[in-house]
Structure 1
Amino acid sequence: MSGFDERKRGQEGKFAHDQEMEFKVMVRRNKLLGIWVAELLGKTGADADAYAKEVVISDMEEKGDEDVFRKVRGDIDAANVEMSDHRIRRQMEELLSVAREQISAGN
């Protein structure tokens, strides 16, 4: 195998690993977001865990964060909880950082 082929295979492997890690980070962020919103909605225990799973699943609708945002925004509105779009998006960003740290640490 030539040096070029070895480098190519190495780069493909790194790309696949990076994509897998990013997927794990997003799933973790969405779970953390779901737990945060569940608390706002007054859910605890198994209900909060089930809601967090709903938030994770909502991210499968389309690429990007808008599907997740729409899910939690709609649920917050339905529960008549006062929360700005900015606050939700800021929380999503903060939890993304937390999720990256947790996944990097192997948690």
Structure 2
Amino acid sequence: MMTTFDDREKAFENKFAHDADLLFKITARRNKLVGQWAAEKMGLTPEETTAYATSVVQADFEEAGDEDVIRKLLGDLTSAGIDVDDAMIRAALEDKMVEARRQFIEPA
């Protein structure tokens, strides 16, 4: 009887770990996509776009939540003379999260 409960507990732990890993990957993909979106607005070259998208992904490791990414995007876009506000960036994050989820769910 104890084995059944142990097996169930292990299955729940495995599912939780899998779900957390998947969310991490989807969020990183979202950050890359929103970095590409911002780079396009700033008129960056393909090489600069790749580097910038990577920097947006890395910015997410500064603190929990999206505020670090929002702060980076808002600062960079504003410095580049792009008329953007917090709400526009949050909307872009939402749009890119949908796209990132789709990329992980749909086969290539």
- TM-score, structure 2 normalization: 0.95
**Aligned equivalents of 2:60 and 2:104: distance in 1?**
18
CA distance in 2, matches of 1:94, 1:29: 9
Following superposition, the deviation at residue 58 of structure 1 comes to 0.1
Deviation at 1:30, TM superposition (A): 0.1
Q: Which moved more, 1:78-87 or 1:62-71?
A: 78-87
Deviation at 1:93, TM superposition (A): 0.5
State the Cα RMSD in Å.
1.1
Correspondence list, 1:9-88, <5 A: 9-88=10-89
| Counterpart residue type for residue 6 of structure 1 | D
Ranges in structure 1 where 5+ consecutive residues have no aligned partner = none
Residue-pair matches, total: 107
> Unpaired segments of 5 or more residues in structure 2?
none
What's the counterpart of residue 100 of structure 1? 101
Paired with 2:35 and 2:102, the residues of 1 have a C-alpha distance of 18
Percent of paired sites with the same residue? 45
Q: C-alpha displacement at 1:8, in angstroms? A: 0.3
CA distance in 2: counterparts of 1:33 and 1:98, whole angstroms:
10
TM-score (norm 1): 0.96
In the alignment, residue 27 of structure 1 is paired with which amino acid? A
CA distance in 2, matches of 1:27, 1:100: 11
